[in-house]
Amino acid sequence: MKIETAFTKMMNIQYPIIGAPMFLVSNVDMVVAISEAGGLGTFPTLNFRPQEKYAEALKEVRARTQKPIGVNIIVNKSNTRAAADLKTSLDHGVNLFITSLGSPKEVIQEAHKNGAKVICDVVNLEHAKKVQDLGADGVIAVGAGAGGHAGPISPIVLVDWLQKKLSIPVIAAGGIADGATMASMLTLGASAVSIGTRFIACKEAKIEQAYKDAVVNSSPEDIVMTTRISGTPASVIRTEYIDKMGLDLPWYLKLLKDQKMTKKYIVPLIHYLGSKSLEEAATGPSWKTVWSAGQSVGLIEDILSCEEIIQKLVREYEECLTKAPRLK
């Protein structure tokens, strides 16, 4: 049994479900399990440091599955590893690249030489058209409610808008954690869904149990947007530490970030400090509790294996379509 869309045909997978690449959460076990279950598992290249460990991770993935896999590469100038990670990825037969925070031009050119596909995170039509013109194979429409760097537009509007204006597949991201939300996006014309927060609460994730429990126990109202982590609005679970820290950059960092002369120095610094905060909170007990998650926490009630999550999504999707009101 399969759910066939333009994206599943392009990637030769069973279900139009991407396990979104999550900083410090996605790992080898998750990628293998999601891809083996019929979806497409991905992780950020920067989850593995130093760079040699990234090559080791890909080698292990490839030893455990021959199904399509993907990686996320941040393509702005703050990522000095982008070129090396791209080469390592291609050497190990990565099938899908997800680019974010910059121009995907070089990734598209190199990936296409190897027969790999490239899809790009976008939050508006302007950026979506730019990457389509560069040769991207699809876009991920990152809507309001997504975990991490969420866009400002409702996913219902964003997906419908982009798929009407573009000629490449649109993948929906933001607020998708069960079969009903998946069905809503595919009905709008999305070719696939990119799911992150639901996979934080999976058995294979090697993160603090408190993080998983927070995802299960939080409601959509517990998700707040903060610029303190990376200088760009990002969704996190509200905790005492977040309340103490505040949601905005300190005035002096904001001032330096907004100045042309200092921006190129201060933005990488903000990214570095933010990633250290996320790392401390995700990987060990810490009073600095900064847990990235999206509004779909309200739809998550248990911790399951990745395979169980995929099966549940597909089962609920089918039930949702069967129960949908129809013309008589």
Cβ atoms within 10 Å, residue 171 = 28
Q: At what angle are helices 28-36 and 306-323 packed, to 10 degrees?
A: 40
Helix (H, G, I), strand (E, B) or coil at 5: coil
The answer as to whether 78 is a domain residue is yes
76 with 122, same domain?
A: yes
135 with 260, same domain?
A: no
Calpha distance 319→178 (Å, rounded): 11
219 with 201, same domain?
A: no
pLDDT value, residue 179: 97
Calpha distance 25→39 (Å, rounded): 18
The total of structural domains in the chain comes to 2
The pTM of the full predicted model, rounded to 2 decimals, is 0.87
The answer as to whether 238 is a domain residue is yes
The number of helices, as runs of H, and strands, as runs of E, in the chain is 14, 10
Amino acid letter for position 190 = A
The answer as to whether 308 is a domain residue is yes
The answer as to whether 56 is a domain residue is yes
Q: How, if at all, do strands 192-195 and 170-173 pair?
A: parallel
192 with 114, same domain?
A: yes
Kindly give the parts of the chain with pLDDT less than 50: 249, 251-253, 256-257, 265, 270, 278-279, 281-287
103 with 44, same domain?
A: yes
pLDDT value, residue 122: 95
Contact of 92 with 55, CB cutoff 8 Å? yes
72 with 199, same domain?
A: yes
Joined together, the tokens standing for residue 194 give: 């990119």
pLDDT value, residue 105: 92
Calpha distance 228→305 (Å, rounded): 32
242 with 135, same domain?
A: no
pLDDT value, residue 279: 47
12 with 145, same domain?
A: yes
HSE-up of residue 176 (Cα within 13 Å, Cβ side): 35
12 with 108, same domain?
A: yes
Q: How, if at all, do strands 117-122 and 138-142 pair?
A: parallel
Joined together, the tokens standing for residue 101 give: 């925070």
Calpha distance 172→68 (Å, rounded): 19
Q: Of 197, 190, 206, 157, which is closest to residue 176 (Cα–Cα)?
A: 197
**CA dist list (Å): 49 to 54, 56, 72, 323:** 7, 11, 15, 47
Could you tell me the residue range of the domain that residue 38 belongs to? Answer: 6-206+299-323
Joined together, the tokens standing for residue 186 give: 């595919």
pLDDT value, residue 188: 95
